[in-house]
Each structure stands twice: as C-alpha cells, then as structure tokens.
C-alpha cells in the first residue's frame, strides 16, 4: 500500500509550505497588523524539530518544500535547515527546495542558498515606487530589496516576483512592474488580496485579476502558456515584453481542484487549507520522538482536507475571512 498522503478527493499531497518564523523585518499591511504581537521564541519549533518534520513529510511523498515566514531569512541559523534539505535533494528524495522572501536579506544569503541547492526563489514585491513601497510595507526601503534581487540574480538564482494587487495602492503600477521584471528575465505573478486578519475588511483593497488582465490586454498581447511550477498560478506569455505573467486568483478564479499543498506554521500547526480554520498540532508528536504518532496525526489531518476554501469578497459582505494574519500561517 502506498505511504503517500492523499486527501478525500484523491489529490496527492506533494508540496509542503513550511514557515520558519512569524517574524518579519517589514510590516506589509495586507499581511500583518501594524502592532503585530509576535510569538515567544520558546513556542517555535527548533531547527532540529523542523528538520524532523520535513523528513516525515518527505517519507510520505512530499517532493517540493518551500520555506516561508514571516520572513524566513530572519530566522537565526535557518541555513542549517536548508543544508539538511539539500541532502534529500542530492539523494533524489525531493525535487526542489525553494523559498519566498521579501529580499531584504538576500544580499547576505543569495550565494549560500545557491550553493545549498536552491535553484529559484519568489520575491514579494508590490511596487517599484519608493514612496508607495514605504507605505505598503510600513517603513521598508525599496533600494535594499532591489539590491537583494541583484544579488540573487548574480548568484545564479532564478527569481520570480510575487505582487499582491491592491486596488488603491499599486494597481496603476502593475504594467510598469511587468515591463521591468521581463526586461530582467524575471517572471512575475499577480495575486489577489485575500481576506485574512481580523482588523479590516479587505474589500477596499481587492481588485479582481480579471480586471487587471482586461486592462493589460488593451496594450499587450497575452496568450495562454503551458508553464507550470506546481503551484496555483496560471501563466500567460506577453508578446510585447517577451516574458511570462502569472495569475493567482483564489477569489475570481478558484484553483482548488488541483490543490496539492499543505502549510505548517513555525509552531507546528498544520493547516490543510489556507482559507479554512481546521488545523492539526504536530508539535507534541514531533517532540515525543514517535514517527508512528506523527504519521497518525498526518493521516487524520489529510483525511479532513477540504475540497476548497471559503474566501469570498463582496461589497455587502466578506465571507470566509480568516482571523489569523497571513504572516502567522506562512505565505
């Protein structure tokens, strides 16, 4: 009998998104509260425990691991875990180690990541306007991020930009961002803002990517692409820029039917769906040293993986809003 993880809808779980920390050196307003209270460090899994957890998922058929946060590069000693995962990569037990970062620390770590077997990374960047960047990130320095991207490309890392589309804050900047990224041989993916965090209704920030695409097609020629990175993005090619553009549209174009992903927080909570509250706590099983106990919890949790999320944003009502912030779950 296969030891792989399958959910009730026959989807094989091959993709783990693992948060190393809820902390970040930026404060993007769609990701966390302005006065965010971070977890006490004693509640976080140690790097050794995170390694044990990844081993368990790899044993159950996971082939791709993405390190997230918060900002994963601010976790002290995180390269220890990357080197542990690289042994699985070299042995052919996984296909890819990748990460999502805000790039503020990339100048320091880009070459180390490349040497450890990381081939590509996602950089979260929502605007090229320094003032708008400072506003969205509540104080961030755009030049520091751009230097990190330079360092990543210099090290030989394949970079992809992730930009959250925000109706009031960056929608007008998107064509310029696409042209800039494609001129640097960087793919870019647009993401719809999701109703997460309990302090604000996201409707005023939300713009459907169908509207963004309609606007782009007034000036550019978009054609469907067969490119697939194993994630939820649907890609198009843009004739005029010669580059590739992705759309992640959980609200306007639900992609749950092919979901092969689960998320684990830095405290060991397993979320089977970003847009649902159901979770399983893996920490005690990890600390018990019992692989059987951990396997049992994984089996039970994946058997509860829902068919789809409940996110919905309308002017009159936003449903499916998650009280936790994106930074808590892991991007």
User: Do residues 68 and 327 make contact, with C-beta atoms less than 8 angstroms apart?
Assistant: no
DSSP string over 208-258: -HHHHHHHHTTTS-EEE-----SSS-EEEEETTTTEEEEEE-TTTS--GGG
> Over the stretch 142-156, which tens digit does the pLDDT of each residue have?
999 999 999 999 999
Give one DSSP letter per residue of 40-67, joined into a string: PGGGSPPHHHHHHHHHHHHHTT--EEEE
Question: What are the pLDDT digits (tens) for 225-266?
Answer: 988 877 778 999 999 999 999 998 866 555 676 789 999 999
d(CA 280, CA 132): 38
- The CATH code for residues 15-329 is 3.20.20.70
The structure tokens 């390269």 sit at 79
Q: Where is 134: in which H helix or E strand?
A: helix 130-137
**How does pLDDT run across 8-27, given as a tens digit for each residue?**
999 999 999 999 999 999 99
The rounded radius of gyration (Å) of the Cα atoms in the chain is: 19
Higher pLDDT, 273 or 331: 273
What are the sequence ranges of the domains in the chain? 15-329
Measured CA to CA, the distance from residue 311 to residue 326 in angstroms comes to 14
pLDDT band at 317 (very low <50, low <70, confident <90, very high): very low
Report the C-alpha gap between 239 and 236 in whole angstroms: 10
């Amino acid at each position: 009998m296969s030891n792989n993880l399958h959910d009730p809808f026959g989807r094989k779980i091959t993709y783990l998104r693992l948060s190393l920390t809820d902390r970040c050196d930026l404060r993007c307003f769609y990701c966390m509260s302005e006065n965010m209270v971070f977890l006490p460090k004693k509640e976080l899994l140690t790097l050794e425990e995170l390694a044990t957890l990844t081993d368990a998922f790899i044993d159950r058929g996971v082939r791709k691991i993405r390190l997230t946060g918060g900002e994963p590069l601010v976790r002290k000693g995180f390269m220890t875990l990357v080197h542990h995962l690289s042994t699985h990569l070299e042995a052919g037990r996984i296909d890819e180690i990748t990460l999502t970062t805000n790039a503020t620390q990339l100048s320091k770590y880009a070459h180390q990541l490349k040497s450890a077997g990381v081939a590509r990374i996602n950089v979260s960047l929502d605007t090229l306007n320094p003032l708008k960047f400072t506003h969205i990130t509540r104080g961030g320095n755009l030049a520091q991020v751009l230097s990190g991207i330079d360092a990543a490309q210099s090290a030989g890392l394949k970079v992809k930009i992730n930009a959250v589309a925000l109706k009031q804050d960056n929608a007008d900047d998107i064509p310029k961002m696409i042209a800039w990224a494609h001129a640097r041989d960087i793919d870019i993916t647009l993401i719809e803002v999701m109703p997460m965090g309990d302090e604000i209704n996201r409707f005023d920030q939300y713009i459907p990517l169908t509207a963004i695409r309609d606007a782009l097609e007034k000036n550019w020629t978009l054609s469907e692409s067969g490119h697939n990175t194993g994630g939820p993005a649907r890609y198009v090619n843009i004739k005029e820029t010669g580059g590739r553009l992705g759309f992640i549209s959980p609200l306007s174009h639900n992609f749950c039917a092919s979901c092969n992903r689960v998320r684990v927080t830095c405290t060991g909570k397993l979320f089977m769906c970003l847009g649902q509250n159901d979770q399983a706590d893996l920490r005690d099983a990890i600390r018990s040293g019992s692989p059987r106990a951990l396997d049992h919890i994984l089996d039970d949790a994946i058997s509860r993986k829902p068919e789809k999320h409940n996110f919905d944003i309308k002017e009159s009502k936003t449903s499916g809003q998650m009280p936790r912030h994106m930074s808590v779950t892991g991007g």
